[in-house]
Chain A
Amino acid sequence: MRRMVSTLTAYAGSATTGLAAGGRSLPALLVLIFVLRGALAIAVVPPWQHPDEPQHLALAHVLARQTRLDLSNRRDLDVEHRILRSMAAHGWWQHYGEIEPDPIPASFDGVPEHISTTVTAPPVYYLLASAVLALSGIEDLVAQSYALRWMALALAAPTLLCLWAGTHRLFGPWVAGGATVLTALHPQFVLMSTAVNPAALVNLCGAVFWWQAARLLTGAPAAATLALLTGATLVGVFTKRAGAPLVLMLATVTIIAWAHGRIGPWRANWRTVVGTAGGLVVTGLLAAVWLWPEVDRLADSWSYALRFSWADRARDWGFFRRFTTGLLDSAWLVAGWLRYPAPSVWLALMRLLVVVAVGGCLVGLRRPAMAVWRTGFILAGALVAIQVAGVYGGIYMNGYGPQGHYLFPAIGPFMALVWVGIHAWWPRQSWAYVSIGVVAFFAVFDAVGWGSVILPVFLE
């Protein structure tokens, strides 16, 4: 017994020393923080309170019950009615400040102002979610929604690791630690990472893309990296419209790698050859079975974004201002279905922080001390610019309202730029203090988000 105690004590001591050293365990620590916050969000936020959860669960539920996969059969009115009843039971309309419909509509068609169906939505997330539901054997709708929330968190944890890895590759461990801790403390990101929503998967695609793009520019084997970049792009495109900018990013990254990067060797070993060939065969078979109809659906899903016409609303300067502030604010914290914003003072501070960071990036590009990060600046700036342009081109130009989480596929490069941009204003000797100040600021913002918004509104 004494021996066991002394062994445990020694183990605890060495673990503490290892953690305190901070080195390799830092990403694991940051993922731990993120996962704990995610678990709290899952426990606190009532069912159906994340954006579009009802329709996403409905489709996953329908697919999970199919004995033979049929992606064209996407609706079950009975399931929709049950979900609407569950929404009423969990006070959804009360949270929205509206009178509950009486009687409860028979399907989602009865609440067109809030719920759109997912008949043309890209399929990958729903296939994954339906597989999880089918394997788990859960039948109850609310229990299914919680299972998918945990699945989202399981997808978000590696998102953080990819974010770390990509930033580490381009900017080194200090910026990687900073960008990852800011993401781990980001209240809206944790909410979207625990939602029944394809957002978690498309964010993972974006993070994998960031990591592989960083590898491509810093001498990693080119063939494997490009294959992974293409894979992340394809999965992202077939997951959510917010993944569409990845196509443009793929082309841009290739150009940047050619112009600024150090492209690695093209040689491939037999494992790569076998893996690639196997992947191509599987992809080809899948494509033959259901990909082509899905491409048609994808075209429908993207149709509004590809019109490239200006809605009347988009010509209004006031709408531009509202859209931009709404996009920024909801990227930081507006809980529920854009219902519960963070205190306005904090949202104003976060807007200011973005402006300071953008200015800092421009300053940093000219600082000799940051010259070594120039490739990182260019890549991160290009990816963020493409994602932002995608949101304005697809959403703003059509006159629709903004949702900040559309920016999250580029959260890796964005947070790296925020971290570097804020520090660029300061002399290097002050960076340790600036780091502490920035992280403390985010921690307090997160605390305000939870303490004055998320917990009070969702815990009655």
Chain B
Amino acid sequence: MRTVRKQEPPSVAPARHARAPGRWTGAALVAAMIATLATETYLIVVDRTVSGARVPKTDQSFLVNGLGQGVRISQTFLMRAGGLDEVRLSAVAQDEAGAGNLAVALYEVWKDRDGAERLLFRDRVTAGALTRYPTFRFAVPRVDDTADRSFRIDIWMPEPRPEVGISLWATDGRSSEDGSLFINGQSAYAELVFETRATRATVWARLRNRFGGAGLTLLLLLSVGAHAALFVGLRAIAAGGHAFTEPRE
């Protein structure tokens, strides 16, 4: 028997759906809220470490030797992000890497002031620590206001030991913005393989820092309230979507 579906006029159709959304609408509603909450959670807890200036290792890369002979190797770079707190270098040991110490120093430089510079941080590392892993992480105390400023990292052996064969990877040409490799102060048409980083505190950590324990608890409670209100409001609006509501006469 053929079923004849009766066409409902718009003003009649809503009544059936107006109070509660249908099953599929409910599922869409829950999916929307999950998507919203997932986005918010991700944005609040995600680690926001950003990468600054960077020169990759390529097939044009080569090793810069001479640290053991007292050569001072430097790399300048322009930082675009604020909060510089780490410079990564790529070093390799060719023989007695474990012996001897190296000095690593970070300077801020002002090219528009005849190359004036300011020492920000200096540390000593053993040759073994420098070459233990493919990437050496030179952590510095966070420098807040680093965006759009130029820096230079120097590495050298204060007490040279020619038997120590440590080399740093560099790449031919210019790869980073406004960066250059210097060997004993002489510019080279190359750059060290390096990467700068600025670690950002998560939004969650910032909120906890700003509001403290009790304040954060209150914030969470209010946030739950706001989300509940949004869910209920959206549910009501979605129910109205089935109902073709007409303007007030």
A interface residues with partner B (beta carbon < 8 Å)? 19-23, 26, 29-30, 32-33, 36-37, 39-40, 43-44, 94, 97, 168-175, 177-178, 181, 185, 218-219, 369, 372-373, 375-376, 423, 428, 431-437, 439-440, 443-444, 447-448, 450-452, 455-456, 459-460
Contacts and interface: CB of A to CB of B under 8 A. Distances in A.
A218 B246 CA distance: 13
Contacts of B163: none
A174 B226 CA distance: 20
B209 to A, nearest CB: 7
A181 B230 CA distance: 8
Contact of B36 (A168, A434, A444): A444
Nearest to B42: A451
A436 B29 contact: yes
Interface of B: 10, 17, 19, 21-22, 24-25, 28-29, 32-33, 35-36, 39-40, 42-44, 48, 145, 147-148, 200, 203, 206-207, 209-211, 219, 222-223, 225-226, 229-230, 232-249
Best-buried of A428, A433, A448, A450 by chain B (most CB within 10 Å): A433
B113 to A, nearest CB: 13
Nearest to B17: A432
A32 B226 CA distance: 7
Contacts of B241: 174, 423, 431-436
Main secondary structure of the interface of A (DSSP, over half): helix
Given A432-B22, A451-B43, 5 more contacts: A21-B236, A174-B244, A440-B36, A443-B36, A460-B206
B242 A459 contact: no
Contact of B206 (A29, A33, A178, A456): A456
Given A447-B43, A456-B48, A456-B203, A37 B32 contact: no
A428 B10 CA distance: 10
A439 B242 contact: no
Contact of A447 (B36, B206, B219, B238): B36
A302 B193 CA distance: 58
B108 to A, nearest CB: 14
A40 B219 contact: yes
Given A37-B226, A436-B32, A97 B147 contact: yes
A176 to B, nearest CB: 9
Contacts of A218: 247-249
B245 A432 contact: no
A364 to B, nearest CB: 13
A21 B233 CA distance: 9
A447 B36 CA distance: 8
A44 B238 CA distance: 32
Best-buried of B25, B44, B237 by chain A (most CB within 10 Å): B237
Given A431-B242, A459-B207, A177 B236 contact: yes
Contacts of B21: 432
A43 B223 CA distance: 14
Contacts of A440: 32-33, 35-36, 234
B150 to A, nearest CB: 15
Given A32-B225, A97-B147, A459-B209, A432 B234 contact: no
Contact of A19 (B24, B28, B211, B232): B232
A73 B48 CA distance: 49
A33 B227 CA distance: 8
B237 A177 contact: yes
B244 A369 contact: yes
Among all A-B residue pairs, the 9 with the closest Cβ atoms: A22-B236, A451-B43, A174-B240, A432-B241, A440-B32, A172-B245, A459-B206, A431-B241, A174-B245
A447 B39 contact: yes
A443 B44 contact: no
Given A19-B232, A29-B233, A437 B32 contact: yes
A22 B21 CA distance: 11
B248 A169 contact: yes
Contacts of A456: 48, 200, 203, 206
A431 B241 CA distance: 5
A181 B234 contact: yes
Given A171-B247, A174-B240, A437-B32, A22 B225 contact: no
Contacts of B22: 432
A44 B210 CA distance: 8
B16 to A, nearest CB: 13
A437 B210 CA distance: 33
Nearest to A370: B244
Given A21-B19, A428-B244, A33 B237 contact: no
B207 A432 contact: no
Contacts of B43: 447-448, 450-452
Contacts of A173: 240, 245
Nearest to B145: A94
Contacts of B19: 21
B59 to A, nearest CB: 33
Contacts of B244: 174, 369, 428
A375 B19 CA distance: 28
A29 B229 contact: yes
